[in-house]
Structure 1
Amino acid sequence: MSDQTLPGGADHERTLLGHDLTLTAADVAARAGLSVRQARRLWRTLGFPERGDERAFSEADVEAISAVADMVSDGLVDFDLALNVVRGAGLSMARLADWEVGALIQPIEEMFADTVGPGATPTEAARWALEKYGDRFETVLLYAWRSHLAAAVARIESMRAIDADPHTTDLTVGFADIVGFTALSNELTREKIGDLVEVFEARCGDVIAANGGRLIKSLGDAVLFVNEDALGAFATAEGIIKVIGRDKRMPDVRIGLATGSVVMRLGDVFGPPVNLASRLTQVARRNRVIIDHDTAGRLPSDQVETRPLPARPMRGFGVMEPLTVRRV
Structure 2
Amino acid sequence: MAPDRSARGDSGDRAPGDRLDAAILRASPEFDAVEVARRTGVTVDQARRLWRALGFPEFVGEKAYTAADVEAVATLMGFVDSGAVDFDMAVNLTRGVGQTMARLAEWEVSTLVSRVEELESGEEATGSRVGSALRLIDEVNPPFERLIVYAWRRHLAAAVGRIEAMGAKDEDLHTIDVSVGFADLVSFTALSNTLDRDEIGDLVEVFESRCQDVVARFGGRIIKSLGDSVLFVTNTAEEAVGVAEGIINVIGRDSKMPDVRLGLASGPVVLRLGDIFGPPVNMAARLTQVARRNRLIVDQNTADLLPPEEWEHRRLPARPVRGFGLVEPVAVRRR
TM bucket, shorter chain: over 0.9
1:324 aligns with 2:334: no
For structure 1, the 5+ residue unaligned runs are 1-6
1:46 to 40, 54, 66: 54
1:108 aligns with 2:116: yes
Does the 8 A contact of 2:120 with 2:129 survive in 1? no
The answer to which of 252-261 and 15-24 deviates more is: 15-24
Does the 8 A contact of 2:36 with 2:70 survive in 1? yes
1:144 maps to what in 2? Answer: 151
Does the 8 A contact of 2:168 with 2:176 survive in 1? no
Q: In structure 2, how many angstroms separate the alpha carbons of the residues matched to 1:275 and 1:146?
A: 31
CA deviations 1:102-129 (Å, max 9, x no partner) are: 111221353367576432233x333322
Does the 8 A contact of 2:53 with 2:98 survive in 1? yes
**Paired residue type of 1:158:** A
Q: In structure 1, how many angstroms separate the alpha carbons of the residues matched to 2:146 and 2:116?
A: 19
2:290 maps to what in 1? Answer: 283
Does the 8 A contact of 1:46 with 1:86 survive in 2? yes
**Paired residue type of 1:63:** E
The answer to which of 240-249 and 159-168 deviates more is: 159-168
Matches within 5 A, 1:6-85: 10-85=18-93
Does the 8 A contact of 2:180 with 2:266 survive in 1? yes
1:260 maps to what in 2? Answer: 267
Q: 1:159 to 1:89 in 2, by over 3 A?
A: same
Q: In structure 1, how many angstroms separate the alpha carbons of the residues matched to 2:26 and 2:175?
A: 44
**Paired residue type of 2:262:** I
Q: In structure 2, how many angstroms separate the alpha carbons of the residues matched to 1:12 and 1:118?
A: 15
Sequence identity, in percent? 56
Matches within 5 A, 1:153-192: 153-159=160-166, 163-192=170-199
1:93 aligns with 2:101: yes
CA positional deviation for 1:264: 1.0
Q: In structure 1, how many angstroms separate the alpha carbons of the residues matched to 2:262 and 2:179?
A: 13
Q: In structure 2, how many angstroms separate the alpha carbons of the residues matched to 1:112 and 1:62?
A: 37
The answer to which of 102-111 and 87-96 deviates more is: 102-111
Q: 1:54 to 1:194 in 2, by over 3 A?
A: same
**Paired residue type of 2:158:** A
* Secondary structure in 1 matching 2:290: coil
The answer to which of 85-94 and 296-305 deviates more is: 296-305
1:238 aligns with 2:265: no
**Paired residue type of 1:169:** I
Does the 8 A contact of 1:159 with 1:166 survive in 2? no
Does the 8 A contact of 2:163 with 2:176 survive in 1? no
**How many equivalent pairs are there?**
321
1:299 to 298, 302, 306: 306
What TM-score do the two structures reach when normalised by structure 2? 0.91
For structure 2, the 5+ residue unaligned runs are 1-14
CA positional deviation for 1:164: 3.3
Does the 8 A contact of 1:214 with 1:225 survive in 2? yes
Does the 8 A contact of 1:171 with 1:229 survive in 2? yes
Does the 8 A contact of 1:253 with 1:287 survive in 2? yes
* Secondary structure in 1 matching 2:193: helix
The answer to which of 126-135 and 165-174 deviates more is: 126-135
The answer to which of 140-149 and 112-121 deviates more is: 112-121
Q: In structure 2, how many angstroms separate the alpha carbons of the residues matched to 1:194 and 1:161?
A: 38
1:120 maps to what in 2? Answer: 128
Q: In structure 2, how many angstroms separate the alpha carbons of the residues matched to 1:270 and 1:71?
A: 29
Does the 8 A contact of 2:178 with 2:266 survive in 1? yes
CA positional deviation for 1:160: 5.3
The answer to which of 110-119 and 83-92 deviates more is: 110-119
CA positional deviation for 1:83: 1.1
1:312 aligns with 2:293: no
Does the 8 A contact of 2:119 with 2:125 survive in 1? no
Q: 1:99 to 1:39 in 2, by over 3 A?
A: same
Q: In structure 2, how many angstroms separate the alpha carbons of the residues matched to 1:106 and 1:192?
A: 14
The answer to which of 110-119 and 60-69 deviates more is: 110-119
**Paired residue type of 2:49:** R
The answer to which of 105-114 and 239-248 deviates more is: 105-114
CA deviations 1:271-309 (Å, max 9, x no partner) are: 000000011111100111000110000011222221110
